[in-house]
């Protein structure tokens, strides 16, 4: 059978993914932006959780976090996975270690399968707003 490129059902950037006794996964610390009082800011670990479906064959997923200036990777990971039928699914967890965001800006997360871009989303690193109490 000819391979069928799968659909990316979901992708989440988070601080950790825990495997439960039931076999389910718990995503911890879902990240939509990174508030940083100063830069550079570093992380011991970040995770990218993805779920694939609707495909058949063997594939290579590549997940990247790209620099805000030149779209060069500051972190990346690859994993191979397979789908045996159109009704099957695959869940992948990329663990990215020792990541440094050198300055404020809009970084990007990319998810690719067999070098085809499936998703790109912004990851802002911002200075937190200070709440000023009304007098």
Total domains present in the chain: 1
Rounded to 5 degrees, what angle do the CA atoms 71, 35, 17 make? 80
Nearest to residue 63, comparing CAs of 74, 22, 54? 74
- Predicted local distance difference test score (pLDDT) of residue 134: 52
- Predicted local distance difference test score (pLDDT) of residue 135: 52
What is the domain range of residue 36?
7-124
* Residue 2 covered by a domain: no
The predicted-structure confidence for 21-78, as pLDDT tens digits, reads as follows: 999 999 999 999 999 999 999 999 999 999 999 999 999 999 999 999 998 999 999 9
The dihedral through the CA atoms of 78, 8, 46, 64 has a sign that is: positive
Cross-sheet strand order for the sheet of 25-30: 25-30, 7-19, 41-53, 89-101
* Residue 15 covered by a domain: yes
CATH number at residue 102: 2.60.40.1930
pTM above 0.85, yes or no: yes
* Residue 129 covered by a domain: no
* Residue 134 covered by a domain: no
* Residue 70 covered by a domain: yes
Q: Considering the chain, what is the average pLDDT of its residues? A: 94
Rounded to 5 degrees, what angle do the CA atoms 72, 73, 79 make? 140
* Residue 17 covered by a domain: yes
The predicted-structure confidence for 91-111, as pLDDT tens digits, reads as follows: 999 999 999 999 999 999 999
């Amino acid at each position: 059978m000819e391979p069928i490129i799968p659909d990316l059902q979901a992708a989440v950037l988070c601080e950790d993914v825990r495997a439960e006794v039931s076999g389910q996964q718990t995503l911890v610390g879902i990240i939509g932006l990174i508030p940083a009082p100063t830069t550079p800011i570093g992380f011991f670990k970040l995770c990218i959780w993805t779920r694939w479906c609707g495909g058949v064959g063997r594939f290579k997923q590549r997940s990247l976090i790209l620099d805000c200036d030149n779209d060069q990777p500051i972190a990346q990971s690859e994993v191979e996975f397979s789908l045996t039928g159109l009704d099957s699914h695959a869940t992948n967890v990329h663990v990215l270690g020792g990541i440094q965001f050198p300055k404020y800006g809009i970084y990007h997360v990319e998810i690719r399968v067999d070098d085809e871009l499936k998703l790109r989303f912004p990851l802002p690193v911002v200075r937190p707003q200070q709440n000023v109490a009304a007098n």
